[in-house]
Amino acid sequence: MQETIEARLKSMGVALPDAAAPAANYVPVVRSGDLLYVSGQLPMGAAGVEHCGRLGDNMSVEGGRDAARLCAINILAQARRALDGDLERLQRIVRITGYVTSTTEFTDQHLVINGASDFLVEALGERGRHARAAIGVISLPLGAAVEIDAIIAAP
């Protein structure tokens, strides 16, 4: 019998939080056909944004990877809510787009977003393999170091 996503997350020591409410005039997830479009997720924890800073200035690649991982956890929390609590309905992460607050000289955005990609593959196996983009930006909402959105196939 194949291990469920929830069981794999538990074995990884990950408890998905409740999906965060939107902070402005948008919805956290839109379903169109068999696809879920998950709005950008910040590295939010129980006390708010847990990873603020700028890569290439006051944050390390490792800190950025941790931020990206937390964004991916929040993506799965949003997906779970959109799928009525049943992550087994998730067929595949189709694509993620990662935005990294960074200096103009910083060129390792791809290494930062690996924090999300590695987590999704570990948690979901083949269902977690995805296309992606990693983009450097000058700033993100609430001073966050990373923001990631996702497209998920979930028939």
Digit-coded pLDDT (tens) for 39-64: 999 999 999 999 999 999 999 999 99
48's tokens: 């708010």
**Domains of the chain by range and CATH?**
34-153 (3.30.1330.40)
Indicate if the pLDDT at residue 76 is higher than 60: yes
49 touches 143 (CB < 8 A): yes
Range 54-89 burial, b when 16+ CB lie within 10 A, else e? bbbeebebebbbbbbbbbbbbbbbbbbebbeeebeb
User: How, if at all, do strands 92-101 and 48-49 pair?
Assistant: unpaired
102's tokens: 């960074």
49 touches 145 (CB < 8 A): no
Helices (H), 20-82: 61-82
Digit-coded pLDDT (tens) for 83-136: 999 999 999 999 999 999 999 999 999 999 999 999 999 999 999 999 999 999
Indicate if the pLDDT at residue 138 is higher than 60: yes
Cα distance between residue 65 and residue 71, in whole Å: 10
Q: Which residues contact 84 (CB under 8 A, 6 or more apart)?
A: none
Provide the pLDDT for residue 141. Answer: 96
Q: Determine which of 18-27, 72-81, 132-141 has the lowest per-residue pLDDT on average.
A: 18-27
Provide the pLDDT for residue 2. Answer: 76
Count of H helices and E strands in the chain?
Answer: 3, 7
Phi and psi at 70, nearest 5°, equal -65, -35
